[in-house]
Structure 1
């Protein structure tokens, strides 16, 4: 089945936000950071059979250009962008699935604009502020950023995956980041390290505001993420919210690695099963 994709650009403060809409029905927003709309396209196509699916390139990434390319990206700014987009599309209240940094964006959205979200699925948010060893973890993030900005790209990625508790197959790091890559991918990577990673990792959810939002709150964890950093942060967040984590197929990027396997679980969770 061919999926019709309608792309648009929304002017937001200091940026032009690229977005895409698929399907019809209740609105489902798929949010990443730094993952862009392209990374969500396969699962967006699948979910568009039942939902009006909205995806975006977060500010500073790919087609969402900034007025000032050196402006930092914070969860609050990205949440404001999403709020403006939902208003522009007359799409709220919506269900929002955010993964990784996108889950942090979604948490910030619910805190600031609870009227626009009826269901939040925060899939593996890296909310390191929830952990007792937050200071050590923040120091690790600073080490990763400094290593990247020194020009040691492979060294930065190696540290990132080590600190995150993610084991890569032998040779995978060099395959992913050691080969010649297109200029846009490199630019997005640099923006993430230099202007996005720090603000995302240091975001502290407002538990009282989340509880008072009225939204159905779900914290998702990949079945294969046990022991990884985002497994720990997600479990800490769920505990603070007084809910049990919801398990999804795969690991941190299960929705992108196996969208056919992930979509049925996402549908079931959205329907309350």
Structure 2
């Protein structure tokens, strides 16, 4: 595995490259970072050159100025610069949760750089009929994070959404897992305070994406939950019928081998297939 640091406007991006074959970029959401994508990357490295990274504002990809409200478009520009740095053109892309929104924006504005996209559970609250309720919940979670911290905020948010905070590191866990969980807690604070509200308002350009080579997916274990509803709403917005992938909202981490097999099938689909 090779690692690197890429200077981008307003931040430095930590990234990892492993494997060989067609370029495959992963974009995680929330508090996730390159380590959280590592099991999936390992399962796909015999088929692809897998690029994983920490998004701007994460612990290993620090901002070069004070924290501020984040924009999907800025994060998509980061992904574009990373693809240019690695020399990947065009690339297969897997984006999950807010990473899926970033990936959709990347494909909408730079279709020549995306060979095929799998967008997993994109959390666009603005597409839901009861969007006011979810924006209210998001505002409550942000306020609680400022007052009491990540744990209480994520418990509040998770009660209705099923998306929970990362667990406290167990002393018996492997060192890389403990380090990842520690970083995730810090990254989640950034995500809650500066990403949740602006990201969940984002609605991708349907005209640019309606004929794009993409698949929408949700976890088989998240049926009827908020992220599944968001995926269905996004499918209606884009005219795409969503499919299911193994596991829940982090199936790529809990069951990486099974998830990788199904994801590879979606990435390899011919035009016109889901």
Asked whether the two chains share a fold, i.e. TM above 0.5, the reply is yes
Q: How far is the alpha carbon of 1:178 from its aligned partner?
A: 10
- Which stretch has the larger CA shift, 238-247 or 125-134? 238-247
Are the aligned partners of 2:210 and 2:240 in contact in 1 as well (CA < 8 Å)?
Answer: no
Distance between the aligned counterparts of 1:269 and 1:241, measured in 2?
17
Cα RMSD (Å) of the superposition? Answer: 2.1
Q: How far is the alpha carbon of 1:16 from its aligned partner?
A: 0.6
Q: Secondary structure at the match of 1:71?
A: coil
Are the aligned partners of 2:150 and 2:188 in contact in 1 as well (CA < 8 Å)?
Answer: no
| Structure 1 position 116 matched with structure 2 position 113 | yes
Distance between the aligned counterparts of 2:163 and 2:56, measured in 1?
29
Are the aligned partners of 1:154 and 1:178 in contact in 2 as well (CA < 8 Å)?
Answer: no
1:45-103: per-residue Cα shift (whole Å, max 9, x none)? 11010001111100000211111141332211110000111112220211100011110
| Structure 1 position 8 matched with structure 2 position 4 | yes
Distance between the aligned counterparts of 2:258 and 2:109, measured in 1?
33
Q: Secondary structure at the match of 1:150?
A: helix
Q: TM-score by structure 2 length? A: 0.89
Distance between the aligned counterparts of 1:218 and 1:176, measured in 2?
31
1:150-205: per-residue Cα shift (whole Å, max 9, x none)? 115433112111231x187xxxx7x9259999764443222111112112211111
1:106 to 103, 106, 121: 103
- In structure 2, the residue matched to 1:201 is 200
Change (3 A) 1:58 1:140: same
Distance between the aligned counterparts of 2:145 and 2:110, measured in 1?
35
- In structure 1, the residue matched to 2:174 is none
Counterparts of 1:145-164 in structure 2, within 5 Å, are 145-164=142-161
| Structure 1 position 30 matched with structure 2 position 29 | no
Are the aligned partners of 1:103 and 1:123 in contact in 2 as well (CA < 8 Å)?
Answer: yes
Q: Secondary structure at the match of 2:210?
A: helix
| Structure 1 position 19 matched with structure 2 position 15 | yes
Change (3 A) 1:205 1:268: same
Instruction: Give unmatched runs, 5+ long, in structure 2.
Output: 172-177
1:232-265: per-residue Cα shift (whole Å, max 9, x none)? 0101111222221111000110001110221111
Are the aligned partners of 1:59 and 1:73 in contact in 2 as well (CA < 8 Å)?
Answer: no
- In structure 2, the residue matched to 1:249 is 246
- Which stretch has the larger CA shift, 194-203 or 184-193? 184-193
Change (3 A) 1:271 1:185: closer
The number of aligned residues is 261
Counterparts of 1:211-250 in structure 2, within 5 Å, are 211=210, 215-250=212-247
Are the aligned partners of 1:98 and 1:122 in contact in 2 as well (CA < 8 Å)?
Answer: yes
Q: How far is the alpha carbon of 1:124 from its aligned partner?
A: 0.5
Are the aligned partners of 1:103 and 1:125 in contact in 2 as well (CA < 8 Å)?
Answer: yes
- In structure 2, the residue matched to 1:97 is 94
Q: TM-score by structure 1 length? A: 0.89
Counterparts of 1:49-128 in structure 2, within 5 Å, are 49-128=46-125
Are the aligned partners of 1:154 and 1:177 in contact in 2 as well (CA < 8 Å)?
Answer: no
